[in-house]
Structure 1
Amino acid sequence: MAEREIWPALQHELAAGRAGALLVVSEHRGSSPGRQGMLMAVSRHGPLAGTIGGGQAETTLVAAAQAALQAENLQPWRQTLIHHTTDSNASGMICGGQQTVVVGFWQPGQALPATGEPWSIIGDGWAYHHTPPRKFTACLIGGGHVSLALSRLLDRLDFRVQVFEERPGIATFVANTAAHEKHHTPYGSLADQVPEGDRVFVAIMTHSHERDAVALRALVGRPFGYLGLLGSRHKLKSLLAGEAQPDFLRAPMGLPIGSHTAEEIAVSIAAEMVAVRHAVAGNGG
Structure 2
Amino acid sequence: MDSTDLEVLKTVTHWQSAGVEVALATLTRTWGSAPRPVGSLLALTTDGRLVGSLSGGCIEDDLLTKMRQSLPLSPEKMVYGVTAEQASRFGLPCGGTLELVLEPLHPQSKIPELLDAVSRQQVVARVLNLQNGQVAVVPANRTDALICTETQLRSVHGPRWRLLIIGAGQVSSYLAEMAMALDYQVLVCDPRLEFQKSWQMHVPAVDAAMPDDFIVAQRPDPHTAIVALTHDLKQDDLALLEALKSSAFYVGALGSKATQAKRRERLTLFDLSAAQIATLHGPAGLPIGSRTPPEMAISILAEITAVRHGVQ
Question: Please, what TM-score do these two structures have when normalized by structure 1?
Answer: 0.76
Identify the residue that residue 228 of structure 2 maps to in structure 1. 204
Structure 2 Cα separation of the partners of residues 122 and 274 of structure 1: 35
Match of residue 25 from structure 2: 23
SS at match of 2:43: strand
1:259 to 262, 285, 290: 290
- Which deviates more, 221-230 or 72-81? 72-81
Q: Which residue of 2 aligns with 1:223?
A: 247
Q: How many residues align?
A: 273
State the Cα distance separating 1:155 from its structure 2 match.
Answer: 0.5
Deviations 1:166-193 (A, max 9, x none): 233438952234x434313333533454
Question: 1:148, 1:173 within 8 Å by CA — same for their partners in 2?
Answer: no
Instruction: Specify the alignment match of 2:37 in structure 1.
Output: 35
Distance in 2, Cα, partners of 1:83 & 1:254: 43
Farther off after superposition, 5-14 or 145-154 = 5-14
- Give the drift of 1:156: 0.7
How far apart in 2 are the matches of 1:83 and 1:184?
Answer: 55
Match of 1:140 among 158, 165, 172: 165
Task: Give runs of aligned pairs for residues 167-186 of structure 1, distance below 5 A.
Answer: 167-170=192-195, 174-177=199-202, 179-186=203-210
Are 1:234 and 2:292 an aligned pair?
no
Equivalent residue for 1:157? 182
Counterpart of 1:262 in structure 2: which amino acid? Answer: P
Deviations 1:225-271 (A, max 9, x none): 32222233524413413442526432233334443433333233223
Q: Mind listing any 5+ residue stretches in structure 1 that lack a counterpart? A: 280-285
Distance in 1 separating the partners of 2:297 and 2:54: 26
Letter paired with 1:148:
S
What is the aligned-residue identity percentage?
A: 22
Query: Which sits farther off after the overlay, 38-47 or 160-169?
Result: 38-47
Q: Distance in 1 between matches of 2:81 and 2:296?
A: 38
CA distance in 2, matches of 1:17, 1:252: 52
Amino acid at match of 1:67: R
Q: In the alignment, is the contact (CA less than 8 A) between 2:46 and 2:71 conserved in 1?
A: no
The corresponding residue for 1:122 is 130
Task: Give the C-alpha shift of residue 105 in structure 1.
Answer: 1.4
1:99 and 1:257 map into 2 onto residues whose CA distance is 38
Cα distance change of structure 1 residues 155 and 61 upon mapping to structure 2, 3 Å threshold: farther
* 1:27-75 deviation digits (Å, cap 9, x = unpaired): 2244421211112333345235x4335x32354155246425xx34434
Q: Distance in 1 between matches of 2:307 and 2:82?
A: 28
Partner of 2:103: 104
SS in structure 1 of the partner of residue 58 of structure 2: helix
Which of 76, 85, 88 aligns to 2:86? It is 88
Q: CA deviation at 1:160?
A: 0.5
Residue 75 of structure 2 corresponds to 76
SS across alignment from 1:87: helix
Q: Contact conserved, 1:190 with 1:219, CA < 8 A, in 2?
A: no
Structure 2: distance between partners of 1:185 and 1:131: 34
- Aligned match of 1:271: 302
Q: 1 CA distance for matches of 2:194 and 2:44?
A: 42
Paired position in structure 2 for 1:190:
214
Does the aligned pair in 1 maintain the 2:71–2:104 contact within 8 Å?
Answer: no
CA RMSD in angstroms, aligned pairs only? 3.5
Greater shift after overlay, 144-153 or 131-140?
Answer: 131-140
1:63 aligns with 2:48: no
Residue 164 of structure 1 aligns with an amino acid whose one-letter code is C
